[in-house]
Copies of this chain bind each other. A is one copy, B any other.
Amino acid sequence: MNEKLQWLRNKMNSLNLQGMIISNPTNIKYLTNIDAEGTLLITRKENIYITDGRYIEHVHSILTLYDEIIVYDAKDISKDDYENFFMFCENVGFEEHYITYATYKEYMIKYKINNFVETEHIIEKQRMIKDEEELENIKKACSITDDCFSYLLGYIKPGLTEKQIAKEIEEYYKTRTDGLAFETIVASGENTSKPHAVPTDRKIQEEDIITIDMGCKVNGYCSDMTRTFFVGKVPEQVKPIYDLVLKNQLQVLEDYKEGAVIRQITRKVENDFKLNGKHNLIHSLGHGVGLDVHEPPYICARNESMLKENMVVTNEPGIYISGKFGVRIEDTVQITKFGCIKLTNSEKNYIII
């Protein structure tokens, strides 16, 4: 059996769960590498994946004997089969944050479950810590993101629209990766003051400020990087804000390491922003990156937990001056015992094209 399924079985054992129904496709991909529509059952003796005719062939092409997963076409499963899967299970876990109330009731009846137990994100919590293979995928996605940004610095010229640049990024990723990890943000001029700006038909102008937030997927794993840069020159009014954001981004890179308290790291940035011009940190300082581009841990002042080795998180302080401009600088990094390793490595000092 693969290591992740083995981990889950041990975890279930410690929670006195004799069975579990896994419905979240990202968790199924994590545990089995299967990317299809279906349900994973962990029963006393077997790992069972139930899908339908559209996916049977594809699923078989992904799995090996080593996975020890039995694949069923839902149409071949009888009422009795369903009732037998968890026959001698006292407690069966389910993903209460994923399945609807209607599905919960349907499962209860279909599988004749005695005690259906909420599993409180056990798989999501484990997903925070990346193994070697996951790290390799994220590193590759980050490296291609650096390459793409480097390409963009030569490509972007006044006259191009934000939409054209976003499209170019999508094309770049499509030919080299699984595609975009999220909808690319390309914001220019005053549009940079909106943290979640959607690319518009605005044309890049001389002396513009540009923010690009981009990422791709490699074998399902994401990258996430933002740079704010300039056409021709850095406007004087922007310099103090850029310097303040960059100073804090570098400070966070110093602070990120196993055992560091997320709340404290965030508070430090918030305080420095307030001290230097009453700026607020209006979005979180960062988030986990993996099969989802936004996943736990969330780096914000409400989170009192500590960073752990081999978490992969972003570091993305930003300041936004309403109606004028904004600056955000973001890297994806890997937490280690003694610090962090930057996985995106594009230039961060004033970038002028």
Residues of A within 8 A of B (CB): 54, 94, 96-102, 104-105, 118, 196
Task: Report chain B residues within 8 Å CB of A100.
Answer: 96-101
Q: How far is the CA of A106 from the CA of B105 in the complex (A)?
A: 17
Q: Are A54 and B96 in contact (CB under 8 A)?
A: no
Task: Report chain B residues within 8 Å CB of A99.
Answer: 100-101
Q: Are A54 and B102 in contact (CB under 8 A)?
A: no
Given contacts A98-B100, A100-B101, 14 further A-B contacts (CB under 8 A): A54-B196, A94-B101, A96-B100, A96-B102, A96-B105, A97-B100, A97-B101, A97-B102, A99-B100, A99-B101, A101-B101, A101-B104, A101-B118, A102-B118
Q: How far is the CB of A98 from chain B (nearest CB, A)?
A: 6
Task: Report chain B residues within 8 Å CB of A101.
Answer: 94, 96-97, 99-101, 104, 118
Task: Report chain B residues within 8 Å CB of A118.
Answer: 101-102
Task: Report chain B residues within 8 Å CB of A102.
Answer: 96-97, 118
Q: List 18 A-B contacts (CB under 8 A).
A: A54-B196, A94-B101, A96-B100, A96-B101, A96-B102, A96-B105, A97-B100, A97-B101, A97-B102, A98-B100, A99-B100, A99-B101, A100-B100, A100-B101, A101-B101, A101-B104, A101-B118, A102-B118
Q: How far is the CA of A118 from the CA of B101 in the complex (A)?
A: 9
Interface hub of A99, A102, A118, A196 (most chain B Cβ within 10 A): A102
Q: How far is the CA of A98 from the CA of B97 in the complex (A)?
A: 12
Interface hub of A54, A99, A100, A118 (most chain B Cβ within 10 A): A100
- Chain B residue, CB-CB nearest to A121: B102
Q: How far is the CB of A183 from chain B (nearest CB, A)?
A: 12
Q: How far is the CA of A101 from the CA of B97 in the complex (A)?
A: 6
Task: Report chain B residues within 8 Å CB of A96.
Answer: 100-102, 105
Q: How far is the CA of A97 from the CA of B98 in the complex (A)?
A: 12
Interface hub of A101, A105, A118 (most chain B Cβ within 10 A): A101
Q: How far is the CB of A62 from chain B (nearest CB, A)?
A: 17
Task: Report chain B residues within 8 Å CB of A105.
Answer: 96
Task: Report chain B residues within 8 Å CB of A97.
Answer: 100-102
Q: How far is the CB of A55 from chain B (nearest CB, A)?
A: 11
Q: How far is the CB of A146 from chain B (nearest CB, A)?
A: 26
- Chain B residue, CB-CB nearest to A97: B102
Q: How far is the CA of A105 from the CA of B104 in the complex (A)?
A: 12
- Chain B residue, CB-CB nearest to A174: B163
Task: Report chain B residues within 8 Å CB of A94.
Answer: 101
Q: How far is the CA of A196 from the CA of B58 in the complex (A)?
A: 14
Q: How far is the CA of A237 from the CA of B96 in the complex (A)?
A: 52
Q: How far is the CB of A166 from chain B (nearest CB, A)?
A: 12
Q: How far is the CB of A100 from chain B (nearest CB, A)?
A: 6
Q: How far is the CB of A35 from chain B (nearest CB, A)?
A: 14
